[in-house]
Chains A and B, each alone.
Chain A
Amino acid sequence: MTTTTAPAGGPAVDTSPSGAAAGGPRRRTGRLRRIGLPYLLLLPALVLELLVHLVPMVIGIVMSFKELTQFYIRDWGTAPWSGLDNYKVSVDFDAPVGEALLHSFLVTVGFTLLSVGLCWLIGTAAAVFMQDTFRGRGLLRALFLVPYALPVYAAVITWVFMFQHDNGLVNHVLHDQLGLTDKPSFWLIGDNSFLALLTVSVWKGWPFAFLIVMAGLQNIPKELYEAAALDGAGMWQQIRRITLPSLRPVNQVLVLVLFLWTFNDFNTPYVLFGKSAPAAADLISVHIYQASFVTWNFGTGSAMSVLLLLFLLLVTGGYLALTSRGRRTAA
């Protein structure tokens, strides 16, 4: 690890060609100091970044090539290299492990698309409606942000109580009071668990979309709306022709961030369903956790994580390339 200090300092010395040729020793050290200082000051941040992000990531990638089961975790230097075996197991979609991973992946994709879409829709709608000043606007804004401000664990545990079959509030309202269902439904097990998960995720996520879009709306000049109104544009047309195009850069970032958060969300499904999630709501983060911690096969778990990382990199890269090209052609 100590070697990381050398390359960071090294280039500063080597890449000062004029300093070596022309100036005297005094000028050289002066220039060296000028060029080297920023690097030196960046060094702690760089080392921290290496420690906190890159080292665990690299270790994770190394682990994915090892047969790291309970027999080797005590001294995992001795774990045998398994080549691509962990990856083969993970992507062999005809075998149970790969099939389960694929199923979990598809569930996660569907869940993420729905959740991000709904979060964005509700958040944007709320932000647009809150643009006009009216009595109690501040109060409503504060109220809308509550789910975002609550600690995740406390909030989701409350949802667990509400979703309970026998004593839960949800069944009390849907079944006992409104009579919408023939009998009380199960929300935490079986197929409905997907709906429960989606509800909690949207409830938790939309205030963030609301906050960001609201901030974006502040930057749209009032004059645009006034001009449009003079030209006879209705509210819907104003939203379509002015609000949405002006929000484009904000939305691009917002959707990406929401996507990454939702796709990787671990807390919500884990607190809702525990270690073994129902098949209908088997999100990939919990699935990978189960594959490594519950079955003690950290090699396969790491391989799945690396695959997930690659997928997210691919999506993010593609998304950024696509949106930045769109911006360039627009400009």
Chain B
Amino acid sequence: MRSIRAAATGAVILSLALAASACGGGSSTGGGSNDSPKTLTYWASNQGASIEVDKKVLKPELDKFEKQTGIKVKLEVVPWSDLLNRILTATTSGQGPDVLNIGNTWSASLQATGALLPWDAKNFDRIGGRDRFVDSALASTGVAGQDPAAVPLYSMAYALYYNKKMFADAGITRPPATWDELVADGKKLSKDGKWGLGAEGSNVSENIHHVFVFAKQHGADFFTADGKPDFTAPGVVAAVQQYVGLMAKDKIIAPGNAEYAQNQSVSDFAKGKNAMLLWQSASANLKSQGMSEDDYGIAPVPVQSGTPGAGRNVNSMVAGINLAVFKNTDNLDGATEFVKFMTSDAEQKVLNTAYSTVPPVRTAQSDAAFSAPDTSVLKDTLAKSAAALPQVTDESQFETAVGTAVKELFADAAAGRPVTAESVKAKLAKAQQQMPKK
């Protein structure tokens, strides 16, 4: 009898415990507190060649921070394939990190969720003021006119990487400055199983970054001034056609690149299969693949004519990583302190050197460490001829819809089907229909 009673009691207790624990996971939607001032959780994005490399770079810095403030930082490096999903899940559940890295193109979309701490004047004052950051980087921190959802941490820009030996073998003396020159050079280089240029045709984000710049060069934008999608504007169609045309018409990109989505084009470049590559801050990646810095040169991304600059001569997006504070943090002061630490001159120098990126902090940027030829091309581009991707709340949907359209056009090109203005326009019209209606 006693054992039965014990079993019954056990069963009831177990059920109650299960039910109670299910209810305990509710989300708190408060505005942050200082309940646990001694610890912070930090989600870093994968900036180095691998997650292990990131841990090695960040660990000593986090130890420094602990020594200064007594706050222990629990680090997790989240791979890019998971980061956005993890942030969305954290947003939904309210159980997230205290501080996190975000891709700067997500700023406006994440800003709309209200999950990130807005950087108003008061918060900016606590980390040394808004003026510490360069304007181009600040332009990618959220919708214009609203308080930024994050502060810039690392800045990157696209550049043209070219294989010096392959250029010399083909009798090309200097890197191309316009697309016509790039196509002419590419045709000389595309022979014997080698190709002029590499591309990531199935990588939706890469596609977006490139067609965005081409659209700027055609004087067009994917969104109207009031934030409505305008994907079928003539300039946009011409831009997409020109980019995909590098494979379809000019035939300087190997058809196989249409299915690349895992940075295979970087490996191809390191192995000498492609003579040119349009990439952001590729130095560290190329080094890890065994390509010496002496073997390649870095030049600005070509323009239609003239030299890189503003307006139609934009030649890169403002690429970069922003640092955000999760609004639900239980260590608000500590989180702010950590952002101040990470954006301090000293840390900016250490981190941006390790990742071959450019500091978005004015005083750090002028340091001699960032005047090497490769960084100075990126720095120049950011300062003079880079534009921020549309800071609209539908940015994430835009990347998916248009990026997929370009991917399908690359698939057409690879299969030998013509890529015409009509076929481009049809794909873009379909992409526009998939955007959310307001």
Chain A contact residues, CB within 8 Å of chain B: 1-2, 4-5, 33, 36-37, 40-41, 43-44, 46-48, 51, 55, 69-71, 73-76, 95-97, 100, 164-166, 184, 186, 188-190, 274-276, 278-279, 290, 293-297
- Say whether, besides A189-B259, A278-B411, A295-B397, A43 and B12 are in contact (CB < 8 Å): yes
What residues of B have a CB within 8 angstroms of the CB of A190 in the complex?
411-412, 414-415
The total number of A-B Cβ pairs within 8 Å is 133
Verify if B218 is at the interface (C-beta below 8 Å from A). no
* Chain A residues with CB under 8 A of B69: none
B426 at the interface (CB under 8 A from A): no
On whether the beta carbons of A276 and B16 are closer than 8 Å, the reply is: no
A166 near B256 with CB under 8 A, answer yes
Of B11, B110, B255, chain A has the most CB atoms within 10 Å of the CB of B11
B15 touches A189 (CB 8 A): no
Query: A276 and B415 in contact (CB under 8 A), knowing A73-B91, A74-B115, A189-B259?
Result: no
Please tell me if the beta carbons of A74 and B114 are within 8 angstroms of each other in the complex. Answer: yes
Pair B8/A40 contact, Cβ less than 8 Å: yes
- Asked if A186 and B414 sit within 8 Å, CB to CB, the answer is yes
Given contacts A47-B15, A294-B400, 8 further A-B contacts (CB under 8 A): A1-B22, A4-B15, A5-B15, A164-B256, A186-B258, A290-B400, A294-B396, A296-B109
Which residues of chain A are within 8 angstroms of B436 by Cβ–Cβ distance?
A: 69, 295, 297
Contacts of A188 in B (CB 8 A): 202, 259
B114 to chain A: which residues have CB within 8 Å? 71, 74-75
A42 to chain B, nearest CB (A): 8
Interface locus among B51-59, B164-172, B402-410: B402-410
Bound state CA distance, A296 and B398, in angstroms? 11
Kindly state the separation between the CA atoms of A95 and B436 in the bound complex, as whole angstroms.
12
| A51–B22 CB distance below 8 A | yes
What is the predominant secondary structure among interface residues of chain A facing chain B? helix
CB of B92 within 8 Å of the partner chain: yes
| Minimum C-beta distance from B306 to chain A (A) | 36
Measured CB to CB, the nearest residue on chain B to A5 is B15
Given A1-B22, A276-B407, A279-B408, CB of A70 within 8 Å of CB of B113: yes
User: Of A74, A189, A294, which one neighbours B411 at CB under 8 angstroms?
Assistant: A189
Complex Cα distance, B392 from A328, in Å, reads 62
CB-based contact A296/B19 at 8 Å: no
Q: Kindly report which residue of chain B lies nearest to residue A184, judged by CB atoms.
A: B256
Judging by beta carbons under 8 Å apart, are B4 and A165 in contact?
no
Q: Name the CB-closest residue of B to A190.
A: B411
| Closest-CB distance, B350 to chain A (whole angstroms) | 34
The one of B18, B19, B88, B414 in contact with A189, judged by C-beta atoms closer than 8 angstroms, is: B414
Is B8 in contact with A41, judged by CB distance below 8 angstroms? Answer: yes
> CB-CB < 8 A to A55: which residues of B?
22
User: Which residues from B are CB-within-8-Å of A100?
Assistant: 434
**Can you list 30 A-B pairs with a CB-CB distance of less than 8 A?**
A1-B22, A2-B16, A2-B19, A4-B19, A5-B12, A5-B19, A40-B12, A47-B19, A55-B22, A69-B436, A70-B112, A74-B92, A74-B115, A164-B256, A166-B254, A186-B258, A186-B259, A188-B202, A189-B201, A189-B414, A190-B411, A276-B400, A276-B407, A278-B408, A290-B400, A294-B400, A295-B400, A296-B88, A296-B397, A297-B436
CA distance A244 to B7 in the complex (A): 48
Question: Closest residue of chain A to B273, judged by CB?
Answer: A166
Q: Inside 8 A of B22's CB, which chain A residues have their CB?
A: 1, 51, 55
Complex CA–CA separation, A71 to B94 (angstroms): 14
Q: How far is the CA of A48 from the CA of B11 in the complex (A)?
A: 12
Contact of B11 with A40 in the complex, beta carbons under 8 Å: yes
A279 cross-chain contacts in B, Cβ below 8 A: 408
Contact of A97 among B201, B407, B434 (CB under 8 A): B434
- Known A75-B29, A279-B408: A274·B115 in contact at CB below 8 Å: no
Partner of A73, one of B113, B202, B411: B113
Partner of A165, one of B92, B259, B261: B259
Shortest CB distance B212–A (Å):
18
Q: Is the CB of A165 within 8 A of B19?
A: no
A48 contact from B16, B18, B112, B204, Cβ within 8 A? B18
A71 to B114 alpha-carbon distance, docked (Å) = 7
Judge whether B64 is part of the interface by a CB distance below 8 angstroms. Answer: no
Query: CA of A71 to CA of B91 in the docked complex: distance in angstroms?
Result: 11
CB distance from B427 to the nearest CB of A (A): 11
